[in-house]
């Protein structure tokens, strides 16, 4: 069970050090490049998880599974920090909150769909390759669409006067001079980060907790 738990916990482990790197990449190369990079990482991770199912006799299949899961976790760090940038660059001021909320909720909504779909697809151990294959299809579609259809990081015409004249600190300067010294931000980050960490860890172990209390999976 410890190995199974790592399939979920790897997202938390990867997001801690690489979250800051993802924000820097987003600030440096722009929204389009980050979206395409995240889509390709997610697709590559999905394919890597399928390798032991497609190649008979693969040595140490769990290593491929964890490697693919880690690539998907890296892709998630690029995705979860993009909504605020997307809302600021592509939407007028009165629509930014709604756009940010909808884009942010897409990640937990995807987790919800996977939690509902996985038990429906997997009735026995032999069905796991089918589940991995089904999840590879949308990853490939998103990868294709993001590569072909995304042309610019910003719209040709700024959506608002604020977006047209927007200026921001360089990433490292803003991190050192503003965020670290902002007591309200530090308190908010610690509290919110702690809540998300506890909730994510608890949800990863929830099935084992319930099964020990005679609930079925």
pLDDT of residue 176: 66
pLDDT of residue 69: 92
Domain boundaries defined on the chain: 2-159, 169-217
175 pLDDT tier (thresholds 50, 70, 90): low
Rounded to whole angstroms, the Cα distance separating 54 from 209 reads: 33
Q: State yes or no: pLDDT of 186 exceeds 90.
A: no
DSSP 59: S
Q: Each residue of 150-164: pLDDT tens digit?
A: 888 888 887 777 666
| Pick from 96, 83, 81: nearest CA to 160 | 96
Higher pLDDT, 6 or 37: 37
Percent over 70 (pLDDT), the chain: 89
Q: State yes or no: pLDDT of 173 exceeds 70.
A: no
DSSP 133: H
DSSP 213: T
Mean pLDDT confidence for 180-188: 83
Q: Which long-range contacts (CB under 8 A, 24 or more apart) does 26-31 make?
A: 26/78, 26/81, 26/82, 26/85, 27/168, 27/171, 28/171, 30/153, 30/154, 31/82, 31/85, 31/86, 31/89, 31/153, 31/154
94 pLDDT tier (thresholds 50, 70, 90): confident
> Considering only 60-64, 144-148, 162-166, 212-216, which range has the smallest mean pLDDT?
162-166
Q: Does CATH place domain 2-159 in 1.20.1250.20?
A: yes
Q: Each residue of 35-82: pLDDT tens digit?
A: 999 999 999 999 999 888 887 777 888 889 899 999 999 999 998 888
CB-based contact 36:146 (threshold 8 Å): yes
In sequence order, what are the residues at sequence separation of 6 or more whose Cβ sits closer than 8 angstroms to the Cβ of residue 175? 20
Q: What average pLDDT does the structure give for the chain? A: 84
């Amino acid at each position: 069970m410890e190995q199974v738990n790592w399939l979920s916990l790897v997202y938390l482990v990867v997001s801690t050090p690489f979250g800051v790197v993802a924000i820097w990449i987003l600030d440096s190369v722009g929204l389009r490049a980050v979206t395409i990079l995240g889509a390709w990482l997610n697709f590559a991770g999905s394919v890597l998880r399928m390798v032991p199912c497609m190649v008979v006799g693969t040595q140490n299949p769990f290593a491929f599974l964890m490697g693919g899961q880690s690539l998907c976790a890296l892709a998630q760090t690029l995705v979860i920090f993009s909504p605020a940038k997307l809302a600021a660059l592509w939407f007028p001021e009165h629509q930014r909150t709604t756009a940010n909320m909808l884009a942010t909720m897409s990640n937990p909504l995807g987790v919800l769909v996977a939690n509902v779909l996985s038990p429906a697809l997997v009735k026995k151990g032999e069905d796991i390759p089918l589940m991995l294959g089904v999840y590879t299809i949308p990853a490939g579609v998103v990868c294709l669409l993001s590569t072909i259809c995304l042309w610019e990081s910003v719209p040709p015409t700024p959506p608002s006067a604020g977006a047209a004249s927007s200026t921001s600190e360089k990433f490292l300067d803003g991190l050192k001079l503003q965020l670290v010294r902002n007591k309200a931000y530090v308190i908010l980050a610690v509290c919110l980060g702690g809540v998300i960490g506890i909730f994510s860890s608890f949800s990863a172990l929830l099935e084992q907790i319930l099964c020990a209390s005679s609930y079925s999976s």
